[in-house]
Amino acid sequence: MIVIGITGGIGSGKSTASEYLISEGFACIDADQIGRDLTADGQPLLEKIGEMFGCVSSSGSAGNGLVLDRKAMAEHVFGDNSVRERYNRLIHGEIIARIDERIAELRQTDVRGILLDAPLLFEAGINDRCDAVILVTADLDKRIERVCLRDGSDEEKIRGRISSQMSDEEKAKRSDFVVDNSGEPENMYRQLDLVMDSLGV
């Protein structure tokens, strides 16, 4: 069964691309969701995060009672490259283990294929789980506009997050297909259909 990696920076429309392919019969493994699950209230990993980075309080009731301050953690991680690298090393191993388990489970089903949706597909080294990789891109101004509308974020902070990530140019060199999502979603859907045709799925 084919495993297709799908990646893209913030505001590129990667999630929209994944949703379309899910509607077309693909199963999706969402690396970000796995990360959120691992850092949900009361999860064991919060003890280690609290020791290494702070941003954790004991105000919860689930599990060990620990709660991650996600906003503070995001500002901490995106504001310092060394902190981000340490955090990624800590959490990526846990995420990869869950991904491998889920791929093995889905290979026993009759889905059309498996999507591995991961913004940090290359950075985490999980592109080697994929038979092909699709990069979703969009014009920078369009990406910033989308995130401002979606999250109410400050433009300067968005630009900082984008600059802290691997560039689209570098990701494109490592990807098998590049899909542009600067226009209407229907245009991206047509590009994805062509990619699926070329992959024979």
For the stretch 107-147, pLDDT in tens is 999 999 999 999 889 988 999 999 999 999 999 888 888 88
The number of helix segments (H) and strand segments (E) in the chain equals: 9, 7
Q: How far apart are the first and last CA of the chain?
A: 10
Strand-strand pairing, 132-137 and 177-180: parallel
User: What confidence category does residue 96 fall into, taking pLDDT thresholds of 50, 70 and 90?
Assistant: very high
User: What confidence category does residue 72 fall into, taking pLDDT thresholds of 50, 70 and 90?
Assistant: confident
In degrees, rounded to 5, the angle at the alpha carbon of residue 94 between the alpha carbons of residues 53 and 127 is 115
Local structure of 33: helix, strand or coil: helix
Q: Residue 57 corresponds to which tokens in the numbers above?
A: 């309080």
Give the CA count within 13 Å in the CB-facing half-sphere of 90.
19
- What's the alpha-carbon Rg for the chain, to the nearest Å? 18
**CATH architecture of the domain with range 3-34+95-199:** 3-Layer(aba) Sandwich (3.40)
Nearest one of 112, 72, 124 to 201, comparing CA atoms: 112
- The whole-number pLDDT of residue 89 equals 86
- Over residues 8-33, the mean pLDDT reads 94
- The whole-number pLDDT of residue 37 equals 94
Tokens 């309080």 belong to which residue?
A: 57
| CB 182 within 8 Å of CB 138 | yes
Q: Longest C-alpha distance within the chain, in Å?
A: 51
| Domain spans, the chain | 3-34+95-199
Tell me: pLDDT of 155 over 90: no
Tell me: pLDDT of 76 over 80: no
Share of the chain above pLDDT 70, in %: 100
Between 58 and 179, the higher pLDDT residue: 179
Tell me: pLDDT of 187 over 90: yes
